[in-house]
Structure 1
Amino acid sequence: MKNITAAMPSPPPKWVERFARIGLLANGLVYCLVGLLAFMAAFGLRKGSQENADREGVFKFVLEQPFGKVLLLLIALGLAFYSLWRLIQALKDTEQRGENLKGLGRRAGYLFSGVMYGGFAIAAFRLALGSGGSGKGDQRETLAQKVLEQPMGQWLLILIGLGVIGSGLYQIYRGVSNKYKKKVAGSNLKHETEEMMVRAGKAGYVARGIVWGLIGYFFIQAALHFNPSEAGGTGQAFRFLESSFGSILLGAVAVGLICYGAFMFMRAKYQPIKTA
């Protein structure tokens, strides 16, 4: 009996599980707001351009609301929790990806996500505390500029762009193939709840993949033209979608991002959290 008990997995530390769930909620809220602002900009329901519908635009939108500073600090804290959870996934291999090439690749993805969301959290904290925020696209422009200054910098930036496009295509693949359903495997969901998650996740991953693909395309354009200012983010992707394909497609992608946010909410409630 003692050996059987020792072989059983221990429950995850509560603080890590709470961090993960709070982080998923904060991430979901940001995606919902990004999608909402993009939808409103597409159909002229709110003043401001599509470029104001990125994460920085969301932070500023929250700050303008009643008790905005408190709300933004809470969002920043949630994003910091999400970042910490991603770093734990990468460094402790809580998803048991292993140390083969594929496993290390997935863990590197968790690490990149943790660093990226850590940056988002810092930006939100700075804005809430009155330290100001970076200009639109500044982070990506700075990255592009530093890469272009290196030997073979144009080729390196093209590789980065291709990597981001590949990540976007993989997001679309995950949505179409329903691979994201593994996120809630073992949760014993009701059929109606599972179907709702499947529909929200499918739309969300496809929309997210489209945006990522465009951001990768902007990196490649910045490399080809040796112009770091062309390395745009979510807001520029929205503007490109509307100018090239019209408000209907932008509205559809915006709804997809809202669905992704809803999927994050459902993950926060139902996803089993592994921490060891």
Structure 2
Amino acid sequence: MVANRERLELLARLGYAARGVVSLIIGALALLAAIGRGGGATDSKGALQTILSQPLGTALLAVVALGVFGFALWRTFQAILDADGRGTGPKAIAARAGQAVSAIIYASLGVFAVSLLLGGRQGDGGGTSTEDWTAWLLVRPFGRWLVGAAGLAVSGSALAMGYKAWTASFRRYLTCDAGAARWVVPLGRAGYAARSVVFLIVGGFLVVAAYQADPSEARGLGGALLALQAQPFGRALFTLVALGLTAFGAFELAESRYRRINAPDAREVVAAAKPMVM
């Protein structure tokens, strides 16, 4: 059982590292664009495509894909088994629901990485998939309400990230000493602040898409960065957010080392899976 816990913990830590690599690439490409050295706004899928295009890209992407699936599994444990010990209060349930959604998102990202490894078609990384699922949802019964609810949920998540940046509440899940905390905590604050801005824009665009019943109004992460760049003082804001996203990538790499991970054992996993199978 101890060996199983250690394997699950290792997979979760690899997941945080993979998430960090993806965030670093997104932030670095945005920074290059901000200083006029190439690059550009992209999302997580675009970052995976960038990894694949590098020397030894196939091997690197395979490791990142494994990490992404590991992160999805860890998010599942957080949501279903309450691996972080959040409890069952209203705030805890909301947080765990968000972790469940995150598990689905990262699992789909892992599938995309595998499709790239198998020679699948490479998209443009600019948010087309967000438009696609928005278009699919809008033609369903109550579709506009569902897209609007998704936009509000993303906006709420963005506000929660802003709260994390302000309070550094993520510290309770870190096991680093005071010396490491002096650089890890500022990275986390800057990273969550940047993600808060980006996801607030994404949520706003989804609400607009629902109101106008127009999927072309929807934007993913890359599209949100482009929209930010187009605003007054956009270059300065774009640069700050790009720096923040890069900081978040570095913070996630630090989390892969310092995050408190209470991995469940096999019996807990089986017990949680039984109701789903039945």
Q: Same fold (TM over 0.5)?
A: yes
Per-residue deviation, 1:57: 1.9
**Cα deviation per residue 1:121-173 (whole Å; 9 max; x = unaligned)?**
11111112211244542332232123212333222211211111111011011
Answering whether residue 140 of structure 2 is matched by residue 150 of structure 1, we say yes
For 1:238 and 1:207, how far apart are their aligned partners in 2? 11
Q: 1:133 to 1:23 in 2, by over 3 A?
A: same
Q: Which residue of 1 aligns with 2:275?
A: none
**Cα deviation per residue 1:93-145 (whole Å; 9 max; x = unaligned)?**
22223334333222211111111001111111111221124454233223212
Q: How many residues align?
A: 261
**Cα deviation per residue 1:223-247 (whole Å; 9 max; x = unaligned)?**
1221112211111111111110321
Per-residue deviation, 1:49: 3.9
Q: How does 1:89-168 map to 2 (within 5 A)?
A: 89-134=78-123, 136-168=126-158
- Give ranges in structure 2 of 5+ residues lacking alignment: 265-278
For 2:242 and 2:164, how far apart are their aligned partners in 1? 19
After superposing the two structures, state which structure 1 stretch, 90-99 or 256-265, moved more: 90-99
TM-score, L = length of structure 1 = 0.89
Q: Find runs of 4+ consecutive structure 1 residues off by over 4 angstroms.
A: none
Q: Which residue of 2 aligns with 1:33?
A: 25
Per-residue deviation, 1:12: 7.8
Contact 2:229–2:237, Cα closer than 8 Å, also in 1: yes
TM-score, L = length of structure 2 = 0.88
Q: How does 1:1-276 map to 2 (within 5 A)?
A: 13-46=5-38, 49-50=40-41, 53-134=42-123, 136-184=126-174, 187=175, 189-244=176-231, 245-276=233-264
Query: Secondary structure of the residue that 1:140 maps to in structure 2?
Result: helix
- Give ranges in structure 1 of 5+ residues lacking alignment: 1-9
The aligned amino acid for 2:138 is L
Contact 1:183–1:267, Cα closer than 8 Å, also in 2: no
**Cα deviation per residue 1:2-32 (whole Å; 9 max; x = unaligned)?**
xxxxxxxx89811110011000000011101
After superposing the two structures, state which structure 1 stretch, 154-163 or 14-23, moved more: 154-163
Identity %: 34
